[in-house]
Structure 1
Amino acid sequence: MANFQWPWQYEFPPFFTLQPNLETRKKQLAAWCDLVLAYHKHHKLFSLDLKEAQSSPLFNNSKINRKLSTDSICTILEELGNKGNIEWTDKTKTRCLVMWRTPEEWGDLIYRWASSNAMTNTVCTLYELAHGDNTKQEEFVGLEDWLLKRALRALEKQRKAELMSFGNGEGVKFF
């Protein structure tokens, strides 16, 4: 995997302190949101633990000896939540799911793959989709189960697929 390309702001010490000026803060939050999503996408991470976040390279630039405060991280995560990119997994908001693509966007990618590989009117397992030899080159390879199911449910709503349970697993039929 290629090295992650940090944005220029990451080397700028004031970036690690949320700014009081409303316009500057708005731009700064947008930059942080973009960075969080890009970082998670690059590393194929689907969750974030608030307790571990502050020591993560994402929020802690040891090169310039700057790190974001826990309150600032919470503000960024709240912004991402308002945009629909994160979802808290607990009431105390210590852990969240990160979605750099919506379930609908993932569903579209999966359906394009199914259509272009003549998989319509056939059944494949969820394991085959996320870990199969035929999907090695696809962006959705390695997609976590919870997000894969949401993507497939989005396709169900569009009547492009049907989730199925059988014996010891789950599968999907594409239409």
Structure 2
Amino acid sequence: MTEINWPWQYSFPPFFTLQPHAETKAKQLAAWKSLTLEYYRITNQAIVDIREVHSSPLFNNVSINRKLSSDMVLVIMEELENSGYACALDKSRQRWLVYWHTLQEWGEIIYNWVRDNGFIGSVCTTFELTDGENTTDQEFHGLDPEVLVRALRTLESSNRAELIMFDDNQGVKFF
């Protein structure tokens, strides 16, 4: 796993408490959003379960004995959702899908690779896209399957792809 370069705020105890002053709070939330997206990009993870955040080094800095409250993590997730980088997976808003590119950006990244490699008019399995030999050098290699399908749906809505579901397999035809 790649080493995380924690920002200076991560070692600053007040960073782990939601600040009351509006301008300070806005900067704090922006820093948390950026740190969260970077952490999930580097660790290639996509699921945040608010009930389990205290076991995550992102939300629990043991070196200064500080951790975010579950309520503050929820605020950060909602901020990410408002900017297109996360969505709740359940009605109780305890499980979240996080993506370091918006779904539209992921769709464009994948579509550009498909176009550049001559796969327009072809069918690819989702496994080929995220785990295939042809994509090992691509940012979407190893992408969470749920994020991939949601990104492909953005291409489907713009008539540049069609998702194909058969048995336990998923594929996509690109136009």
Structure 2 length as normaliser, TM-score?
0.92
Aligned pair count reads 175
Q: CA deviation at 1:159?
A: 2.2
Comparing 127-136 with 138-147, greater Cα deviation is found at 138-147
What aligned pairs does 1:125-140 form with structure 2 within 5 A after superposition?
A: 125-140=125-140
Amino acid in the other structure paired with 1:65: N
Partner of 1:75: 75
Q: Show structure 1 runs of 5+ residues with no match.
A: none
Offset of 1:22 from its aligned partner? 1.0
1:92-131 map, 5 Å: 92-131=92-131
Residues 84 and 103 in structure 2, CA contact (< 8 A), matched pair in contact too: no
- CA deviations 1:17-72 (Å, max 9, x no partner) are 11111111111111111111111111111110111102311111111121122222
In structure 2, the CA distance between the partners of 1:72 and 1:136, relative to structure 1 (3 Å rule), is same
Q: Extract unaligned runs of 5+ from structure 2.
A: none
Tell me the residue number matched to 1:64.
Answer: 64
- C-alpha distance in 2 between matches for 1:102 and 1:136: 21
Offset from partner CA, 1:72-108 (integer Å, 9 cap, x none): 2222222222223221122222211112212111111
Structure 2 CA distance for partners of 1:41 and 1:23, relative to 1, 3 Å: same
Q: Percent identity?
A: 51
Task: Please give the per-residue CA displacement for 1:108-166, whole angstroms capped at 9, x wherever unaligned.
Answer: 11111111111112221111111111111111111222221121121122222222245
What SS does structure 1 have at the residue aligned with 2:55?
Answer: coil
Q: Secondary structure at the match of 1:53?
A: helix
For 2:53, the equivalent position in structure 1 comes to 53
| Larger displacement relative to structure 2 (107-116 or 162-171) | 162-171
In structure 1, the partner of 2:39 is 39
Q: Distance in 1 between matches of 2:120 and 2:43?
A: 31
Question: Aligned-residue CA RMSD in angstroms?
Answer: 1.6
TM-score by length of 1: 0.92
